[in-house]
Structure 1
Amino acid sequence: MITYRVIRTKSEKEGIKAGFFSLFESVYMKSLKESDWEHQFVHSPYDDTVMFIASDGDKIVGSSVMIRQTLSYDGESVPYYLFTSSAILTDYRTYGIYPELLKMQKEYAAENKASFIFAFPNETAFPVLKLFGRFKVVGKYDLVKTDFKNFNINRLSDALKLDENMFCWRFEHKPYYFSNISDKIVIFKDYEGVLDMLAVYDKASFGHDFADTAIEQDATIITLDANVIDRSVCETFGRVNATYFALNNDVDFEKVNINLLMSDVF
């Protein structure tokens, strides 16, 4: 018999840690790093990273995770949950576990006054999330490689609210960089010499201390195709699917400009 639990506290997470690590390695065929466990599953910007666990006896056979975050929208702060990951053992994928976990996530988000759930599924998970979760598409974007001079610094949004809690949590686990360009703060990550352009914030309202790192005009970057000046000189590098499940009508998602900082992948 499959049983389900909602796991919130640090002590509860320590209690399932060994079983969850085993599940993760079985599904993803790699070990979960201790630093990633701490950042993605234990720490939280607003003390609200929640795990939904399916068990068969003492064995964890499925899971999903959400992290509470805040959207800056029309001058308001709108609470939402980022659905970051899910995992179900192959032998249990016909047991109806995924729909049950999604149902629990929606109920939890509604009970905790969130406006919606965001998710950035890969190509495999994308149709499943739409079918079983009834998630809708904000946008499907090409991830492109180009030069920094082709980057439209005025296009990228500051949709993810970076208050002090979020700022400390979001940048705790990997090296991130900040570049002061004109009246903008560009946030990026360096991966093997290629710069991931994550977000752009207005300098006047940024409100955080940072070390300024210059970006050369001919630096190779990765960004969404919506954020370049000339698409024809870009190399398509991958795909980003942005989806949501609305819990109320507070947000018109056609007005939300997605940036890579909003995705747990980056």
Structure 2
Amino acid sequence: MTHLLHLDASARPGLAGKDAHGSHSRNLSQRFVSQWLTRRPHDSLTYRDIGQNRPSYINHDWIASAFTPDERREPWMQDALAESDQLVDELIASDVLVIGTPFYNFGMPAQLKAWVDQVVRLNRTVGIDETRLPDPYLPLLGDRPRHAVILTARGGIGFGPGGEMAHMNHLEPNLVTALNFIGITRIHQIAIEGQETGGEVLAASVTQAQQQVDALVAELQSAVAETAPALVSSAQTEPA
């Protein structure tokens, strides 16, 4: 059974085409998840609407607690990390991470950045080996083939790879860097562009993105089906 972790980061609670000022990124992410579960109804899902329920920003107590060894943490430190622990546990449990996010002012929404800051955690998702300088970091989530799907909606056009405005896009490159840093390297990106232009430009982009989502669901489900027997076989050979 494959487990999905679905995040929506848009400040807009509704869906484009259905609700006034609805979100295109939510449309894409919900399309991906609904198609996935329709084809594989026995798979499981954890959903977080971080656009409407923002994770906490990290503060002094969080930093002091996260960089204190487990055995030396005081009770208040455990409390300071409780939300982070839950978010990290959800990420570790996932096989496919689905992120629906708008493109705000050349980067990710503050809500999504707050989630990233909560899950990039020393000794939870990344380790340090000081004998490996100048790159001592050890990604801890490369233990199995996790996938991340980044579904984006942009107001302008040309912000994708190779586009005229690509150098101003700090959303997907930032997310990819953070996910690679903790060991998630199988990353897939689909974007809608042209919300500010509207009309045929937006409509064509929406149609293309929806088709890409459908194709990606089929592709990843085939990949999951291929890797599942190997994982089961590996588990059966482990000592009891």
* TM bucket, shorter chain: under 0.3
- The TM-score, its normalising length taken from structure 1, stands at 0.23
- The TM-score, its normalising length taken from structure 2, stands at 0.24
Q: Which has the higher helix share?
A: 2
Q: Which has the higher strand share?
A: 1
